[in-house]
């Protein structure tokens, strides 16, 4: 059964993509027959290594994975999907004749989402498969919504011709500073999202204010400040980007409490927001803007030292940032 795909069950654009991995032709045929109740296209293989290739090259909504395979066992395949292919949202149902609690716990630990014991009831099999597919569809919808937010953020950036590639540069600079600070992987990922989404609230700021070359009036400044709250509200509605909300809302707070929108001070300002501030300020100073010209590294060091003396920035992160500027400033420029 290795290689050729099982005939398409449903060719409509709405059909799911299902991969069945099993070296037992009888069980394979039974699974395909049951799946006829769901609009899906089924691809099959009888070995774990081929399954990994298919998943790496294609896009699937569900994997039905036999625990015992001739080359790699199902648990090893599952682990490699999660670890090596970095695919954590693909639903994997382990199909197994070994129903011991220890075996099932191990499969779940390797990354399986669910399991079906052989011999299985067709209705149970169908119910579990359908539930997994519907969950994957929900994840895809959320991912699409997050993509819309990222697109809106890029549209905000594009409104100002002097901030081209600003977000992409910020992603790089945030990672450099974040690693030096010692942030964990999930914090670095939140920084990456925040670097792109931090100014998404400016989607509602008029160009007359956003692109004004001179000083803003008091009313204009209040309007501009609202972008932090508006952006946070937008991101807070999606689980997939909610970890970036501390950056979106608090990247204009100050260490001494004089910032906005919440007047947070010291360590009450989220750590990732404090790290992001240094990357954002560096990019604003290092490149031309409507209100200022690009600054030299020496000038940026002087400005940052001044902001630290005023009590505006986290002094510990500031020490790390200034060390990078003095020793290896090229690391910050993408």
CA distance 225 to 99: 58
- Is the omega angle on the peptide bond into residue 261 within 30 degrees of 0, that is, cis? yes
SS3 62: strand
Q: Which helix (H) or strand (E) holds 16?
A: strand 16-21
Q: Which helix (H) or strand (E) holds 117?
A: strand 114-117
Question: Pick from 82, 25, 84, 73: which is nearest to 47 by CA?
Answer: 73
Angle between helices 25-35 and 122-159 (to 10 degrees): 70
Question: Pick from 236, 247, 237: which is nearest to 270 by CA?
Answer: 247
**What 8-state DSSP symbol labels residue 8?**
P
3-state DSSP of 252-314? CCCCCCCCCCCCCCHHHCCHHHHHHHHHHHHHHHHCCECCECCCCHHHHHHHHHHHHHCCCCC
If you write DSSP's letter for every residue of 83-103 in order, what string do you get?
A: HTS---SS-EEEEES---HHH
SS3 136: helix
Strand partners, 101: none
Q: What are phi and psi of 90, to 5 degrees?
A: -70, 120
Could you list the active site residues?
202
CA distance 146 to 112: 25
Pair 54, 80: CB distance under 8 Å? no
Torsion of CA 213, 217, 219, 221, to 10 degrees: 50
């Amino acid at each position: 059964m290795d290689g050729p795909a099982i005939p398409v069950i449903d060719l409509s654009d709405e059909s799911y993509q299902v991969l069945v991995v099993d070296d037992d032709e009888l069980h394979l045929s039974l699974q395909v027959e049951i799946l006829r109740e769901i609009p899906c296209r089924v691809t099959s293989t009888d070995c774990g290594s081929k399954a990994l290739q298919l998943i790496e090259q294609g896009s699937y909504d569900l994997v039905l994975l036999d625990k015992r395979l001739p080359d790699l066992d199902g648990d090893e395949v599952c682990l490699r999907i999660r670890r090596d292919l970095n695919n954590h949202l693909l639903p994997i149902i382990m199909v197994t004749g070994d129903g011991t609690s220890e075996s099932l716990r191990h499969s779940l630990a390797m990354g399986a989402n669910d399991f079906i014991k052989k011999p299985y009831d067709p209705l149970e099999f169908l119910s579990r498969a359908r539930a997994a597919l519907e969950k994957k569809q929900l994840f895809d919808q959320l991912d699409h919504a997050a993509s819309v937010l990222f697109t809106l953020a890029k549209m905000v950036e594009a409104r100002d011709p002097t901030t081209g590639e600003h977000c992409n540069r910020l992603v790089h600079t945030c990672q450099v500073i974040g690693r030096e600070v010692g942030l964990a992987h999930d914090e670095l990922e939140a920084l990456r999202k925040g670097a792109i989404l931090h100014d998404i609230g400016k989607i509602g700021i008029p160009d007359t204010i956003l692109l004004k070359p001179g000083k803003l009036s008091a009313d204009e400044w209040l309007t501009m400040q609202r972008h932090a709250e508006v952006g946070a509200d937008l991101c807070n509605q999606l689980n997939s980007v909610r970890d970036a909300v501390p950056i979106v809302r608090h990247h204009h707070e100050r260490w001494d409490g004089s910032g906005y929108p919440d007047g947070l001070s010291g360590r009450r300002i989220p750590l990732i927001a404090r790290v992001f501030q240094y990357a954002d300020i560096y990019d604003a100073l290092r490149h031309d803007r409507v209100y200022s010209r690009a600054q030299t590294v020496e000038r940026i060091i002087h400005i940052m030292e001044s902001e630290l003396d005023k009590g505006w920035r986290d002094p510990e992160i500031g020490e790390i940032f200034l060390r990078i500027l003095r020793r290896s400033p090229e690391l910050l420029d993408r």
